[in-house]
Structures are given as C-alpha cells and as structure tokens.
Structure 1
Amino acid sequence: GLGFISTSDNVTALAEMGVLVLLFFIGTEISLRAFVLSLRPAVIVAGGQLAVSLLIGWVVSLLTHASLAEGVVIGFIMALSSTVVAMKMLDDMGELRGSAGKITVGVLIAQDIAVVPMLILTSSLGGETADVTTIILKIAFAILFLGALLWWLTRKGKLMLPFA
C-alpha cells in the first residue's frame, strides 16, 4: 500500500474526516427538518440492522471456527451501504424526497456516522484475543459515542458541521 494508513490513529483520523465531508455533502441534499423528523426511525432501523448483521457475523464465526473479532468485522461489513449509490438510485426513482427516501437517507447517514466507532472497535480488536464482555462494552461505548455525536451535530436545531 501507500503506507499513509498504517496505524490505527491514522485510520481513525481519516474515518472522522471522511464522515464530516460526507455529512457536509449530504447536508446540501436534504433539509435538516427532514433529517430530524426521520432521525428516530432511522436510528432504530440502522441499530436493528447492525444488531442483526453482528448476530449473523457471530454465527458465521462459529460455523467457520473464526474468532469472535472476525465475526464482528463480518457483521460490520454486512451492515454498511453506499450512501452515494443509494441516494442516486432514490433520486433517479423520484423517491429521495418521499417518506421512505427520507428514512433511507437517515439510515444511510446513521451508518456513515457509525463507521467511526466501528473503526475504533475493529482497530482495538486487532492485537488481542477478544472476549464477549470486552466486545459488548466496546459496542456500548460506540453506541453512546454515536448518540453524543448526533446530539452535538443537531443541538441548536440546525446541522452544525465543524469546518464546513
């Protein structure tokens, strides 16, 4: 590789920058009011999707005799979607501004924000044998981090993106 993402600190920094840039560009496509209205169902759907994906990843790790950490990574991979592709498809179908489109965009944004805690968790799993308690605690921390980030970005009734 190019060697500029060799440490977990670099991966985390790049992920944070990527999420901020993506949120900036998505913010130009949707109104904050529509986003806030779809936030609750979007977070519920994204959280449910993540939980099911992690469960499937765990089952795959059991069936293939892989480690629990590898099962978590498989679950994370299954839980993510391409925001750009999905938004383009919704726009082409004329559904981007509809209720299903708004919820879908909210889910996509929640997934994109969740990438940062996912990367933090997966990078911390790399050098140790992970047990279920450690993974559950790290996932709980990631969920709290995501909630705090969403609160911080929308705390004054408008989307507040730093450096944007």
Structure 2
Amino acid sequence: MNKHQIAMAAAACTRYDIVCVDKDGNEKWRDVADNLVVTTGLNDLLDKYFKGSAYTAAHYIGLTDDSPTIAAGDTMASHAGWAEATGYDEAARQDFTPGTVAAGSVDNSGNVASFSINASDTIGGLFLATNATKGGTSGILYGVAAFTGGDKAVDDGDTLNVTATATAAAA
C-alpha cells in the first residue's frame, strides 16, 4: 500500500447507543446505529481542521422518523429519504456534549442526550447537526444513522437516552 492509499484509509464515524425506558423506568428496548458522515459533514470537518475556518463546538442530536433512507448528499435543507421526528417534550434537539478525546474517539457518556417522548411514534434513527432548532432545516448536517435492529416504537412517557461516540480511525 502506498502513502496515498494509507491516507485514504482513514474513516470518520459516529455510533449511537440508544436505550428506551418506559414511564416506570423499565427498559423497553436498546439498539445501536452507525452514522454515515454525509458530504456536508465531511466538508465541514476538513474546512474547520485544515483551513481553520470559523468553528463552533455546538452540535445537536436529533431523531429520524421510521425507515430512514440515508444518502451521502443529504443536508439539513434537503433529505428526501427521511424526516425529523419531533414528538418529544424538549424545545430543541439535544446537546451533544463530548468529553475528553482519547484513542481517536470522543463520546457524551458524561452527559447523555435524553428525549422525553410525548406521543406514540416510530423512530428509525438519529442525526447530528450544528443547529438546535427542532424540525429546522438550517445548519450543517454532520451525519445520519438508521437503527441496526430496524424501526422502534415509542410511546408517550418513554425516554430515549442516547450516547454518541464519534471516532476517527484508520480503516
């Protein structure tokens, strides 16, 4: 493998670990979802790191509706294969507050994102964006992930707890 091939073998990913608990605190289900970092997310990453462009550390976790179809060309303004699920009490998407970066990885395990579900719905995955506006179409979409176990039902009173782990590693 030459130097160019080695450099091209790096990958960025976000893994979401999701636990759904009911209103009594009983676990209903859990799943994982591996994020496709979309083109706008990759461009933003390269722009901020290599060009030193204006940077904000603010990122937010959102929910997708059932059966998301994810494409590399998705943006917050245009994502025909999925819609945002907004049936939760919080006024905005939940903060992604990462801890210490180590071994090519960082997560929000010290500040897990929680969504208080307020309606029966089907959730299919998650996304990470730079805008907190629930249902909004502005900001930069970093990536989107579908649940590995398929769509999941949620009910009024459920809570979704999401731990997101962002990784950059040699592929």
Query: When the two structures are superposed, what TM-score results if normalisation uses the length of structure 2?
Result: 0.27
Q: Which has the higher strand share?
A: 2
The structure with more helix, counted as a fraction of residues: 1
Q: Which has the higher contact order (CA 8 A, sep 6+)?
A: 2
Give TM-score scaled by structure 1 length: 0.28
